[in-house]
Structure 1
Amino acid sequence: MGGFTKIRAEQGEKQKALEERDMAVFQEVLPEAVSKANAAEDAVEKAVITSEMISAGGDDLDEVRQAVQEAQKAMGEARIFLNAKQASARRHLERAGAPQKNEELGEPKQQGNVIAFGIPQVRALKADPKLTATSCGYVAEEYTLSSASVDSFIPGLVYLPGFLTVAEEQELLAAIEAATWDGDNKSRRTQQYGYGFHWRHRHSNALVKLEPPRDAMPACSEAILERLVRDGHLASSAFDQCIVNDYTGGQGIKAHRDREFFGEAVVGFSLRDRAIMDFRCIRSGEVRAVLLEPRSVLILTKDARWSWQHAITPAPTLLWRGSTLPRGHRTSLTFRSIADWGVVAEA
């Protein structure tokens, strides 16, 4: 204990010496900085007074120009002086080994409602043991959702856990596994139904009508969509396009908003395993997260459809409300209608 006390005493003396040096630098700089700032203010005031006098008397504008030039010169000198002293102080801090960022201090850096990933997860959880990890950073429990929600968590977002039965899930998976997987999306396995999406030609003639049996929605999905209509969650069960995404090994999907040529409602089924989908408001930057459980349904309309981006973070495990959850094999189906048929290529 004696050695530890000695080390702490030495560190305290060094810190005190640094603080005294900083104060000396500050006291040295302050008078000249104040003087130059006052001179700049006086020059600006002189320019204003001169302008008013000339405007009232109708005299020549040369005096105004001269006063403005003097004011600009004074302000420039003040700015150069302060910038130089600021750079000197920054170099002094670097030599003293003082950290410049919150991350180096080990303090959580808050950006809106998100705590950035600049600190270790263990330390972040000490500050808030109920944090959830999203693609943007950590969010508090109040910004997460795992229970049923209809339009309250985010306007236009409907989350229905356990909406699909086990039998419906198995029937969908059997149909998907019996079909072939597309080979043009390297980040994950996909299948498309109704209209196919050209990954390499997204901006013009992006969709093409698929040949049978891919020209219709997957087996069993239409009955589920019709039940969503009967329960009042959807206005229509008619969708033109479905994409199946297969996530393995912690795969994710980057933040995005479904393309504008798709319609008002986007519907997603989650099969097999859970995932965290995070949402980021395009206007405010606020982030929220939803735990998508197996056999759940997610519907995006209104703000949730148009004003929020959604993403799934690539990670082998999930951090949800302070608990680490294993992440397994997840399959999702996303249903969309076509609003702008100009993007469909002619056969």
Structure 2
Amino acid sequence: MDLTQFEVKGVPPTVYYIPNFITNDEEAFLLKNIYSVPKPKWTCLSNRRLQDYGGIPHEKGMIPEKIPTWLQTYMHKVDNLHIFNDKKSNQVLINEYLPGQGIMPHSDGPLFYPTIATITCGSHTVLEFMENDEKRVNVCNILLKRCSLVIIKEDMYFKYLHSISEREVDNIGSCSNITPADELELKRSTRVSVTIRNVPKVLKIKFW
């Protein structure tokens, strides 16, 4: 796949946005498996809950954990885009956002290869990018539709923060990747994000 055709224009380098990266059946398959895990697999935070696969990134090195086959399928699909150059994905973070939930401005930081890929399931959201200073001036907004894949790298990874606002309805008129056919006001439902990454520093011990 030639990623250049999916580059979002008019924003700092670089964001690729691939609509319909997975099918509706694949989305249902992913959600079924995500919600079938034992309850202790979820980590509950104040504004969302999450699951980690592959290990917990750490500055001293990630202790690798076996990743279930159902998730490896989509890691391989992302790896086929060669976004990590000669590396393969080895860690996945799954977040669940109920309507009205979001995430504060942040960067993914130096523990990861500086490229992140996120599949969106269940509902759209708007990913907001801003300057990494006290003023937090908005740089751009990216609409993430169901079944899409967004890839963030270069300045958009290193230089800017990204966040999701806590609201139930999005006015997407300011998004850089909308099409003329898009409705400008979208109501959120429960969204599950599947973020696929590479952790370069991995310890040699294993839990399987």
* TM-score between the two structures when normalised by the length of structure 1: 0.48
2:4 equivalent to 1:150: no
Aligned to 1:186: 46
Structure 1: give runs of 5+ residues left out of the alignment. 1-147
Of 46, 63, 68 in structure 2, the residue corresponding to residue 209 of structure 1 is: 63
Give the aligned CA root-mean-square deviation in angstroms: 3.1
Q: 1:185, 1:273 → 2: CA distance?
A: 20
Aligned ranges 1:1-347 → 2 under 5 Å: 149-150=6-7, 152=9, 153-180=11-38, 181-196=41-56, 209=63, 215-231=65-81, 235=85, 238-282=88-132, 285-321=137-173, 323-341=184-202
| SS of equivalent to 2:166 | coil
Q: Aligned in 2, Cα 1:289/1:267: closer, same or farther, shift over 3 Å?
A: same
Structure 2: give runs of 5+ residues left out of the alignment. 175-183
Deviation at 1:346, TM superposition (A): 10
Q: Which of 1 and 2 has greater Rg?
A: 1
Deviation at 1:265, TM superposition (A): 1.6
Among all aligned residue pairs of Structure 1 and Structure 2, give the percentage whose two residues are the same amino acid.
22
Q: Aligned in 2, Cα 1:163/1:234: closer, same or farther, shift over 3 Å?
A: farther
Q: 2:118, 2:202 → 1: CA distance?
A: 22
Q: 2:81, 2:206 → 1: CA distance?
A: 37
Larger RCO: 1 or 2 (CA < 8 Å, sep 6+)? 2
Asked whether the equivalents of residues 228 and 234 of structure 1 are also in contact (C-alpha less than 8 Å), the reply is: no
Asked whether the equivalents of residues 84 and 113 of structure 2 are also in contact (C-alpha less than 8 Å), the reply is: no
Q: Aligned in 2, Cα 1:227/1:241: closer, same or farther, shift over 3 Å?
A: closer
Q: Aligned in 2, Cα 1:236/1:295: closer, same or farther, shift over 3 Å?
A: farther
| SS of equivalent to 2:170 | strand
Q: How many residues align?
A: 189
| SS of equivalent to 1:244 | strand
Aligned to 1:64: none
- Structure with bigger helix share is 1
| SS of equivalent to 1:178 | coil
Aligned to 2:179: none
* TM-score between the two structures when normalised by the length of structure 2: 0.76
Q: 1:194, 1:302 → 2: CA distance?
A: 24
**Which stretch shifts more, 239-248 or 279-288?**
279-288
